[in-house]
């Protein structure tokens, strides 16, 4: 049962990844087109750059006073948190399942 739950958490992480690859590129394109100062802060290739992901996860994107952008960045943030929590919970349960007799 523990390994089934671990697999379930990994599936949740995959669902989060699917949402992330939809919303985060759209948010980055919006930044590129309408907010050059934010683009300069995040740099080129911000899709998987750790500083840009931390900026998103920490919620610092709310500094940008653009409802269209925050409407794209908020689901990206939720999906990034879902990925991280799903992998973490799945990994813990997998290790627990392997250690359990």
Query: Tell me, what's the pLDDT at 98?
Result: 92
Query: What are 82's two structure tokens?
Result: 């879902």
Domains in the chain: how many in total?
1
For 39-90, how does the pLDDT look when each residue is reduced to its tens digit (9 = 90+)? 999 999 999 999 999 999 999 999 999 999 999 999 999 999 999 999 999 9
Maximum distance among all Cα pairs of the chain, rounded to whole angstroms: 57
- Quote the domain boundaries for residue 50: 2-99
Query: What are 73's two structure tokens?
Result: 């960045």
Query: Tell me, what's the pLDDT at 78?
Result: 98
Cβ neighbours of residue 1 under 8 Å, at least 6 residues apart? none
Query: Tell me, what's the pLDDT at 10?
Result: 97
Query: Tell me, what's the pLDDT at 94?
Result: 93
Structure confidence at residue 4 as a pLDDT band (50, 70, 90): very high
């Amino acid at each position: 049962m523990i390994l089934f739950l671990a697999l379930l958490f990994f599936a949740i992480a995959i669902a989060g990844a699917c949402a992330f690859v939809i919303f985060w590129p759209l948010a980055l394109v919006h930044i590129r087109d309408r907010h050059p100062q934010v683009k300069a802060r995040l740099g080129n290739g911000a899709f998987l750059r750790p500083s840009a992901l931390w900026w998103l996860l920490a919620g610092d994107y709310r500094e940008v006073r653009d409802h269209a952008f925050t409407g794209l960045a908020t689901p990206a943030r939720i999906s990034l948190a879902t990925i991280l929590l799903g992998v973490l919970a799945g990994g813990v349960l997998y290790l627990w399942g392997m250690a359990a007799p």
